[in-house]
Structure 1
């Protein structure tokens, strides 16, 4: 049985004997032809910009300003100060094959300009909205014209399409808007705007290097600062340093090559040539070219090449190759492969160089009309010229020879300099003494050239003995703030010694399901990256003690952290870790609980409360007395039946809390702790205990500070006391609390919201300063 689909397909198909009717041939509409041609010239915004830059340079511009929006799709504007365009030429400016560069076909043989076919503006006008504002030096005003599909079009509906007078400077401003608006297939193929903008910057960068005497500027529309800016009248070496960084510029070599330049035949024999070799070596070492019949033909073609290339010290992951032939940016895989072959035996495997090659040839030997976008050109004697340039590069590298390595000793000391007669900043020729001993015994060694080079911006300080912020103000190790008198440590010693090793704090055995859930919540909230930063950080210094800000370094990044928030979270987790098994801090003599609460309540503003201060004190006192058995069993907070505070929980060995905050801590236990539910009770009590342990100026230091401000003439002693308290607190933060955080803190993601902020990254700083 045949399916209906199969049957219908058989009925619709012609029989073998019937020949199909030929389709008629029609002439394509002119607009369709132009749009197809435009697609060959304008592939993406970067290719349109390349054509416009070449027009600016042909006009003799010394300043070129570029603005981009949405990667060039919404807006691409380029302004130059060149010779401008005459008003009489504006009607045919965007028509195909209209140019001022050619008049006869023979002119192609002597072409020295960028554009010649007259298709760039025409192609752009067929796939975008094109506007031109131009003024010659003889014109009294500028002229503005809009174009659509190669013809003048009115700027606004109902207006005439003729050019309109307007204000403007000498030169030309070309604005391209809504690129590819009428070619949805091409528009959908364009990737995100960031990638297109990067391609645009790459094109502008390459032309800025080759035209070092022209000032280039490229920025996004609406931005105040350009992403690329070069001054006029700079050298090629300066342009490379500004655009590609000091890392390339410091290892840059320069040569000029011409047919008369001598070439060593020994160097030719050493290098493996990947291309076909038409070059024969005679016995006397002179170079000649041979034709297909084997007859010697003299190479009389005049040409000149200037090459900037990096030495053996520089290597990147990808080859950066800038090739300009007769000032035209082109691509040549053959020349690129030949130069990469030179570096095969010089750089480590996988490493690539930076090469800028400007080749000037006789225009009669160059065919520039072999590619729609002029991306490729063909020229005579390409193999021999490539061979000569590659040999000269190899000879220069061989003469430079040695690789130089840098090493860093101290962050504050910069790069160590060798003790030699010659001056060299931060560089020293290194030789491994073990390798010397191996060579003396005839053993093969691995040279230091095989070691991976670490760039300066990726070097990391690894010694915690390096200077911190506080080390620049030498002081003795301060004593602890708060009086030690009347305090005894029951299970752990508290002392201000330079020994910063953190004693091990084991997790208590607790079978309460509430505590198990709280501990599990802490583990699940862990942020992996933040934990790595705290685990491997280097403490830099306390920035602001009042605002609780400190600096820490991890790898090549610098972080500003709110140490108060981190320390409070640390003590909360330490309290949860030791729940039911705290060490005790005995108070002798034991202060009365009611009196401590009264001190804190007196300092509070209770006008909005319906209770008097005495009633508030009685209420908090009754709450704590009624729950003193639970407080002692779970938290080691001992309160006698007479209302005396006998001991406090000790969360961290070698760290004593600021007892000036004890009245505030006891007062807050009344209203801030949820005494009605078990989970909330434990959680809120541990948070109050962590707040009590977090370092801070406390009431005593605040009172001393206010006293010194009220009476500056008699505040010397108070200022000394405040300074001692602050110095002691800084010492505790650096030597006790940050090491404890490294070991015990499980940082939650919530700290990233505002308490840990990256403020600097060394590679980013290098990129900023290399452009200065």
Structure 2
């Protein structure tokens, strides 16, 4: 018989019987609907933490979340009595009856997220409420409690822990190999995780978010609490988007409704069709290759292709073809008008009057763009900083004829013998024979020293600094990471630059020249990276910057804490904050003295600090802020993180950025400002040439090419 005949004979004559699926199979199928990849699991866990009123959320990831996904929050925690049913399906604290769905204001409500994770991964929970004397740890598999080791009971075990909940998901999809093999690489899965966290961090600026890879000394995402969404967008999506943001507010306009925008769409009138929306979107000056669209409906991250298309159509008449905007949109609607129970992962929602609301929002954005169109700016930007290349010095490369109006190109082919090439004017590197700077061309009144503004003044000579010998793996690892992150072209630019002048002292912007290119640099950011590297290079072998008389530690801390805003969010009084930071530094006295030459007396006086560069004196007005930041910003528990964060704070203290809390000088007194300017030009930039190993991260916001001589010639020749 043929193959088809054999298959036909193997089929049953009648219909197959209907059978009830086994419960474990049902649960695993349901888990596949909820948990598609590590990023979808993280979204569910983030929403649980936000529902628990957490103000700090820390996420640790290993191998893109497939090996480890851990989320730690400081929320209200979980009662011990609720732990046995925590991972069962359809167990939730958000609903009691079906009618509750019509007024739902929480993120989670289906009671399937944790259950789904326990069916496709190994899950453990550590939780503590404020009323508990200790934390409780429990392990789950297939939705039920399990014993952590053979011979032990599955009951939750007491352990040490802070208020809140820590959920650890390990070996995701270990029992569903097909789903595991369908996932992308760990780097792409980690990028998806960062994308989810970034979006929630933008919408929840009052919550501190942190995301890092397991074993990494520094996080890839870190935010501090603030009340400004535009600031969060600028921090997380970059300055290019932040400086072009437009704020749009629109709401339902009904008779009797207040004109101001309410925090909740149901404030004032009991109207189920009442709504309000707020958007932060880029104007006509920003163009991207792909639309970035963040949509939150009643604080829930959702997707809506119809709303996205409507907004993109608004921008299609403003931006060039192929260009796309950035849009953050938050819509608040009466919960009675929203159906959130339309997708297992709550990715989509349905709400009343969707077309009308979308049209109103699109019209408001269009009006804002039209109002901004009169101030549209066109920026000229060449390639990112790199080595100066001369097209005439290579064979087989394209050359554009400068005098050809048609823009035709001619290709120089290979030749047997290379003829000497003429060096055109627009490829000549020009610097003043006197090394004149911007300051030398401007008259200076009452300089703080006689050589300020003098074109003949030269930079001071800097002594060599040798790397200290150290056997600590943590320090050697940090030194190795500095060398690995080196950007060779940018390092060459800094080492061989010619200083042009300081453009803006307050914003720490300066101009430097390298070859035929002019760069605008943030010298505070460059200096901060250099001082971090100097601190790392001299670890354990610092000179001491001694204070005479030594200032009291508590007095300095109190100055900074009193000037700091937002301390009330910590739940502590300012005196209690001072006490805690002081106690922390006193506990670490021996370590600080041995490794960092930072001496604090038993009488709580600051005797000395590490002196990173002998010829450079930091701004001591920033000392109170530096000491205050050591308390919350240094990770004292881990050796490598402790050393890394302490040296980062030390580098920030040494950088010439203006003090945030303590004014560096009065507006009428320019003596200190002139002295700082001289030190920046003649000491700091000289040190940058000699010591800085420039990382690639400086190219993102801190080094921008603003002019290139060949391009300027090309522009003028066509005028």
Aligned pair partner of 2:244 in 223, 238, 251: 251
CA displacement, residues 343-381 of structure 1 (integer Å, 9 cap, x when unaligned): 111000000000000000000010000011100000000
Other-structure match for 1:389: 361
CA displacement, residues 201-231 of structure 1 (integer Å, 9 cap, x when unaligned): 0000000000011000000011111100110
d(CA) in 1 for partners of 2:38, 2:6: 50
The answer to whether structure 1 residue 30 and structure 2 residue 2 are counterparts is: no
SS at match of 1:33: helix
CA contact (8 A) 2:121 2:174 kept: yes
Other-structure match for 2:409: none
CA displacement, residues 126-153 of structure 1 (integer Å, 9 cap, x when unaligned): 0001000000000000000000000001
d(CA) in 1 for partners of 2:312, 2:382: 37
SS at match of 1:402: helix
The answer to whether structure 1 residue 358 and structure 2 residue 330 are counterparts is: yes
CA contact (8 A) 1:556 1:763 kept: no
Give how far 1:340 is off.
0.5
Other-structure match for 1:372: 344
Do the aligned partners of residues 19 and 56 (structure 1) sit closer, same or farther apart at CA in structure 2, a change above 3 Å counting? closer
Do the aligned partners of residues 473 and 247 (structure 1) sit closer, same or farther apart at CA in structure 2, a change above 3 Å counting? closer
CA displacement, residues 126-182 of structure 1 (integer Å, 9 cap, x when unaligned): 000100000000000000000000000111222110000000000000000000000
d(CA) in 2 for partners of 1:164, 1:468: 74
The answer to whether structure 1 residue 39 and structure 2 residue 11 are counterparts is: no
Other-structure match for 1:691: none
Other-structure match for 1:340: 312
The answer to whether structure 1 residue 766 and structure 2 residue 708 are counterparts is: no
CA contact (8 A) 2:430 2:516 kept: no
Other-structure match for 1:92: 85
SS at match of 1:304: strand
CA contact (8 A) 1:470 1:541 kept: no
Other-structure match for 1:319: 291
d(CA) in 2 for partners of 1:385, 1:104: 30
CA displacement, residues 697-741 of structure 1 (integer Å, 9 cap, x when unaligned): xxxxxxxxxxxxxxxxxxxxxxxxxxxxxxxxxxxxxxxxxxxxx
Matches within 5 A, 1:515-594: 541=496
Give how far 1:10 is off.
3.4
SS at match of 1:13: helix
Do the aligned partners of residues 146 and 343 (structure 1) sit closer, same or farther apart at CA in structure 2, a change above 3 Å counting? same
The alignment's TM-score, normalised by the length of structure 1, stands at 0.50
d(CA) in 2 for partners of 1:47, 1:409: 39
Other-structure match for 2:376: 404
CA contact (8 A) 1:245 1:767 kept: no
CA contact (8 A) 1:468 1:541 kept: no
The alignment's TM-score, normalised by the length of structure 2, stands at 0.53
CA contact (8 A) 1:309 1:355 kept: yes
Other-structure match for 1:301: 273
CA displacement, residues 99-129 of structure 1 (integer Å, 9 cap, x when unaligned): 0000000100000000001100000000001
Do the aligned partners of residues 144 and 765 (structure 1) sit closer, same or farther apart at CA in structure 2, a change above 3 Å counting? same
Do the aligned partners of residues 352 and 410 (structure 1) sit closer, same or farther apart at CA in structure 2, a change above 3 Å counting? closer
Do the aligned partners of residues 553 and 178 (structure 1) sit closer, same or farther apart at CA in structure 2, a change above 3 Å counting? farther
Do the aligned partners of residues 176 and 472 (structure 1) sit closer, same or farther apart at CA in structure 2, a change above 3 Å counting? farther
Aligned pair partner of 1:13 in 8, 16, 20: 8
Do the aligned partners of residues 473 and 322 (structure 1) sit closer, same or farther apart at CA in structure 2, a change above 3 Å counting? closer
Do the aligned partners of residues 393 and 54 (structure 1) sit closer, same or farther apart at CA in structure 2, a change above 3 Å counting? same
d(CA) in 2 for partners of 1:763, 1:215: 24
Other-structure match for 1:218: 211
d(CA) in 2 for partners of 1:765, 1:120: 38
Do the aligned partners of residues 85 and 10 (structure 1) sit closer, same or farther apart at CA in structure 2, a change above 3 Å counting? closer
d(CA) in 2 for partners of 1:172, 1:59: 9
Do the aligned partners of residues 19 and 408 (structure 1) sit closer, same or farther apart at CA in structure 2, a change above 3 Å counting? closer
Give how far 1:542 is off.
8.6
The runs of 5 or more residues in structure 1 that have no matched partner are 263-298, 412-461, 475-532, 544-549, 559-756
Give how far 1:398 is off.
1.1
d(CA) in 1 for partners of 2:366, 2:43: 32
Other-structure match for 1:645: none
SS at match of 1:318: coil
Do the aligned partners of residues 168 and 388 (structure 1) sit closer, same or farther apart at CA in structure 2, a change above 3 Å counting? same
d(CA) in 1 for partners of 2:122, 2:70: 12
Aligned pair partner of 2:101 in 105, 108, 123: 108
CA displacement, residues 424-454 of structure 1 (integer Å, 9 cap, x when unaligned): xxxxxxxxxxxxxxxxxxxxxxxxxxxxxxx
SS at match of 2:374: coil
Larger radius of gyration: 1
Give how far 1:26 is off.
1.4
Other-structure match for 1:504: none
The answer to whether structure 1 residue 196 and structure 2 residue 189 are counterparts is: yes
Other-structure match for 1:134: 127
The answer to whether structure 1 residue 65 and structure 2 residue 20 are counterparts is: no
CA displacement, residues 654-703 of structure 1 (integer Å, 9 cap, x when unaligned): xxxxxxxxxxxxxxxxxxxxxxxxxxxxxxxxxxxxxxxxxxxxxxxxxx
CA contact (8 A) 2:55 2:75 kept: yes
Matches within 5 A, 1:233-248: 233-248=226-241
- Tell me how many residue pairs correspond in the alignment: 412
Do the aligned partners of residues 303 and 469 (structure 1) sit closer, same or farther apart at CA in structure 2, a change above 3 Å counting? farther
Do the aligned partners of residues 21 and 43 (structure 1) sit closer, same or farther apart at CA in structure 2, a change above 3 Å counting? same
CA contact (8 A) 1:79 1:172 kept: yes
d(CA) in 2 for partners of 1:27, 1:168: 43
d(CA) in 2 for partners of 1:141, 1:539: 54
CA contact (8 A) 1:323 1:356 kept: yes
d(CA) in 2 for partners of 1:108, 1:43: 25
Matches within 5 A, 1:458-473: 464-465=428-429, 467=431, 471=435
Do the aligned partners of residues 127 and 12 (structure 1) sit closer, same or farther apart at CA in structure 2, a change above 3 Å counting? closer
CA contact (8 A) 1:539 1:553 kept: no
Do the aligned partners of residues 38 and 339 (structure 1) sit closer, same or farther apart at CA in structure 2, a change above 3 Å counting? same
Do the aligned partners of residues 19 and 219 (structure 1) sit closer, same or farther apart at CA in structure 2, a change above 3 Å counting? closer
d(CA) in 2 for partners of 1:540, 1:100: 61
CA contact (8 A) 1:309 1:354 kept: yes
Do the aligned partners of residues 303 and 539 (structure 1) sit closer, same or farther apart at CA in structure 2, a change above 3 Å counting? closer
CA contact (8 A) 1:208 1:230 kept: yes
SS at match of 1:25: coil
CA displacement, residues 223-265 of structure 1 (integer Å, 9 cap, x when unaligned): 1111001101341011000000110010000021101299xxx
SS at match of 1:256: strand
CA displacement, residues 499-531 of structure 1 (integer Å, 9 cap, x when unaligned): xxxxxxxxxxxxxxxxxxxxxxxxxxxxxxxxx
Do the aligned partners of residues 473 and 343 (structure 1) sit closer, same or farther apart at CA in structure 2, a change above 3 Å counting? closer
d(CA) in 1 for partners of 2:132, 2:80: 9
Other-structure match for 2:652: none
